[in-house]
Amino acid sequence: MRTAEIRRRFLDYFLQRGHTLVDSAPLPVDDPTLLFVNAGMVPFKPYLLGQAPAPYPRAVSVQKCLRTLDIDDVGRTARHGSFFQMNGNFSFGDYFKPETIEFAWDLITRPVADGGYGLPESRLWVSVFHDDDEAAELWRTRIGVSPDRIVRRGVVDNYWSMGVPGPCGPSSEIFIDRGPAYGPDGGPEVDEERFMELCNLVFMQFERGAGGAKDNYPILGPLPSKNIDTGMGLERMAFTLQGVDNLFEIDEVRPILDRAAELTAVPYGKSRESDVRLRVVADHVRTALMIIGDGVTPGNEGRAYVLRRILRRSVRAMRLLGYGGAALPELFTVARDCMSPSYPEISTDFARIQEVAAAEEDTFANTLKQGTSILDLAVAEAKAEGRTRLSGQSAFKLHDTYGFPIDLTLEMAAEQGLEVDREGFRQLMTEQRRRAKADAQSRKTGHGDMSAYRATVDAHGPTEWLAYETLTTESTVLAIVEGDVQVREADEGSIVEVVLDRTPFYAESGGQESDAGLLIGGDVRAEVLAVRRPVKGLVTHQVRVVGGTLAAGAAVTAQVDAEWRLGARQAHSGTHVVHAALRQVLGPTALQSGSYNRPGYLRLDFSWRSRLSPETRSEVEEAANLAIRRDLPVEVRFMTLPEARAIGALALFGETYDELVRVVDIGGAWSRELCGGTHVEHAAQIGPVALTSESSVGSGSRRVEAVVGVEAFRYLARERDLVSRLAEELKTPREELPDRVSALVARVKEAERESERLRARLLIAQAAELAARASDVAGVGLVTATAPDTASGRALAESVGERFDRPGVVAVAVPGDGKFVLVAAVSGAGRGLGLSAAELLRETLGGRGGGNAALAQGGGNGEAGPAFVRFAELVADRLTSGRS
């Protein structure tokens, strides 16, 4: 049974039983504790935590998930990959244990002909929490599972919580016996490789207090409303039903693995080492496809770094398997064909996805070249110092700074006869992981104490949000929050969060800054600094009380700054227009991946590999302004998400949308996007658009910035004034300015070249004079001098060294602000006596600096005079000790 069919059967089964279908949320998640969705229940957290009422009593989903904690171990076991899909059915205060257990067992054992999975009951085991007699009894009497196949387990295995105070409860799992070839008999307590978990049923019926993440916390009492959260790993069910040994051999993964084997000419099954690498490629390519599909582009932080690491591990594995060509374009095409039956948007958006992946592979190829050069220098330095090992610090720097894989460092160092200090490298990696874990743990506090906000929602319901309808409302202060607690009032000068029963203020979202404005009532005046949504349904206002005392229960007028809102509307609609213009000029793959706008200003990130030429930028700017001149109508409509997709509305990658979405059209299909922001009514209200910059924000991603409306007028006026001043200063008509400036630049460059030639001749003359006047140190000529900059210092040191007619050494200092650069040189005859510029320099500077026997350079602190003295002493010492 193909994976897409397993998925369809799961959804159909629960839809027939009154569940609402909820589409998978994107992998990137707006949650302070997570980078990516890592479990099927994550999109339902607000309902399970009681932060918002569930819009349906029961739901079903197949959620895309990603876990990267054990990324280095991917491919080494049958069950663990980075990307996976979680089948889940959920109940919010509706059905509970009896129905949940019955649903799971019925679907798993129901004959294939009747829409089930057809697994034999004789191969199934179940586990329950050791105190959950109710669940054990249901399995025994209602389902008919033999008591000797019902395993009772402890808190760590069969009790669920989110690791923080909140809902918790016992769980029950269904396992399948894969047979004696996979391990010893005796059930999941004996061997979980043979007895593999297929699904987990969580019964949320209690509330837990503070304590350990897994155990050692108090149970505070029963929840007022019991919930159900289940998870069935789609990949595990697939390799069970497809009769293969592991998730890398199922129909959605094996074709990628086979193509990798074909490209590398390394057959699968040849050796454990090559099999692990092929599995890594198959897993990581599929994972990267899904991450890029959800709008992430490679980078150096957060989820962007996770993607970069996954892509580079794929390329690295292919290279270690012997393939040096561009692998990702080949492999991503296969991955698309594997995943598009379940996710058709992958095919629709494939050109952009493949562009991002190919750009990162190109970037990594350059990284490998750079890393190889750095490694060669480190190896040469180790050999020059007589060491047989490359330091752990060098290996870690290559890995951490340049992205150079440690296994390539080990392999290439070995080729040159060196070992690598693996223990030192491991210690540095362990320390980095410790810091990363500490950082991840600190992010868990991002949940904060939301009780003050949830209490307000529970008491008064959601905020009546009127930002689309009006700029002013008569409102009541429902709550004032200072820190994490509610207070009765806030005095002048205080900065607090205020909850109103109704508000006209736009809360920051979708790249648009929140509104500015005032709360006014009696003698109270409060300036609105920011507007946000801390919990679903609630809008809060961060305010500074600038007059009077603001009290809970007070009546106030909430008043948005009209000029601010107008500027924000112009900028947000301008963002849509620029996005459409980019797609018109560059093609449909130039998709927005992020944006930010505030009154008069917009910034838009989009998928594109190369810099836009000045001509292309002008073309995009003209397309945007022509659309504005045509005064295209702006229409806002509400519809279901499937309806919006059907008419081609573009969604911002990484955003999570409700079933009912807001579609903003500018000129009909010319610009059609899902958007919750505020917009103008006609395109002409945007005013002119002026692109001010274009830059790179990572491989495969560019950024344009622009100003609109009055800000665009001001920007263009400044540009006009600048051109006028240049034309006046240069006595040149405006239209001839480019040629005039080019001619001036050429003349300046030629003057600089002539200056360099003159300086070189002066240096040569000075070098000859210095060499002739060299002092004598133990029979060797010694020259010390200063130079104005490092380039001159190196040139002078080399020139003096070449002009000695006897053994000679040179030290040239370049003074700075409390520091200096020292350049050392040794003539050929001096090197014949055993003198080395690199050794003399390092000892002079206390180990700092680098170079070779002829020329070396390093930096020191303080004045250069003592360094000259030390340098001369070292020369004398070397020569004297060599003769004794």
Q: Count up the domains in the chain and report the number.
A: 5
Quick one: pLDDT at residue 546? 93
Looking at residue 683, which CATH number applies to its domain? 3.30.980.10
- In the DSSP assignment, the letter for residue 141 is I
Residue identified by tokens 């994107």 is 26
Compute CA distances 363 → 326, 333, 397, 412, 427, whole Å.
12, 20, 18, 21, 29
Q: Report the mean per-residue pLDDT for the chain.
A: 88
> DSSP string covering 702-718, please?
EEEEEEEHHHHHHHHHH
Give 601-653 pLDDT, tens digit per residue.
999 998 887 889 999 999 999 999 999 999 999 999 999 887 888 888 887 65
Rounded Cα–Cα distance for residues 572 and 592 (Å): 13
The reply to whether 618 and 503 lie within a common domain is no
Say if residue 575 is in the same domain as residue 629.
yes
Identify whether residues 283 and 335 lie together within a single domain. Answer: yes
155 belongs to a structural domain: yes
Would you say 572 is a known binding-site residue? yes
67-71, 148-152, 159-163, 190-194: segment of lowest average pLDDT: 67-71
Residue range 199-251, pLDDT digits in tens? 999 999 998 888 776 777 888 888 888 999 999 999 999 999 999 988 899 99
3-class secondary structure, 573: helix
pTM, whole model, 2 decimals?
0.63
For 476-482, what is the mean pLDDT?
92
Q: 């946000």: which residue's tokens?
A: 532
How many Cβ atoms from other residues are within 10 Å of residue 158's Cβ? 22
- The answer to whether residues 830 and 875 touch, using CB atoms and an 8 Å cutoff, is no
- Residue 756 included in any domain: no
Q: Are residues 508 and 636 in the same domain?
A: no
Tell me if 594 is assigned to some domain.
yes
The answer to whether 130 is a known ligand-binding residue is: no
Considering 526, 560, 594, which residue would you say is the last residue of a domain? 560
The answer to whether 201 and 232 have CB atoms below 8 angstroms apart is no
Q: How far apart are the first and last CA of the chain?
A: 86
Looking at the fold, whether 203 and 275 belong to one and the same domain comes out as: no
Which of 423, 444, 465 is at the close of a domain?
444
Domain boundary among 692, 722, 752: 722
**One domain, residues 588 and 712:** yes
Residue 348 — pLDDT band, cuts 50, 70, 90? confident
- H or E stretch covering 857: strand 855-861
- Beta strand 150-153 pairing with 124-129: parallel
Is the model's pLDDT at 384 over the cut of 70? yes
Q: Is 460 annotated as a binding residue?
A: no
Considering the domain boundaries, does residue 551 fall inside one?
A: yes
Whether residues 26 and 166 share a domain: the answer is: yes
Which of 130-134, 499-503, 720-724 comes out lowest in average pLDDT? Answer: 720-724
Same domain, 199 and 163: yes
189 with 92, same domain: the answer is: yes
Do 273 and 233 have their domain in common? no
Asked, for residue 679, whether it belongs to a domain, the answer is yes
CATH of the domain at 820: 3.10.310.40
Is there a domain that residue 284 lies in? Answer: yes
Residue 150 forms part of a structural domain: yes
Q: Are strands 150-153 and 58-66 parallel, antiparallel or unpaired?
A: unpaired
Q: Is the pLDDT of residue 864 over 80?
A: yes
Percentage of the chain modeled with pLDDT above 70: 94
Domain housing 650: 565-722
pLDDT, tens digit (0-9, with 9 covering 90-100), for 803-856: 888 899 999 999 988 899 999 999 999 998 889 999 999 999 987 778 889 999
Q: Please tell me whether residues 608 and 690 are part of one structural domain.
A: yes
* β strands within 341-457, DSSP E: 389-390, 419-420
Q: Which amino acid is present at 286? A: R
In the structure encoding, which two tokens stand for residue 719, read together? Answer: 């540009």
- Residue 475 sits in a domain whose CATH number is 2.40.30.130
Residue 748 forms part of a structural domain: no
Same-domain status, 440 and 457: no
Known binding residue 80? Answer is no
Inter-CA distances, 121 with 102, 110, 199, 413, Å: 13, 10, 15, 56
Return d(Cα 538, Cα 464) in angstroms, integer.
9
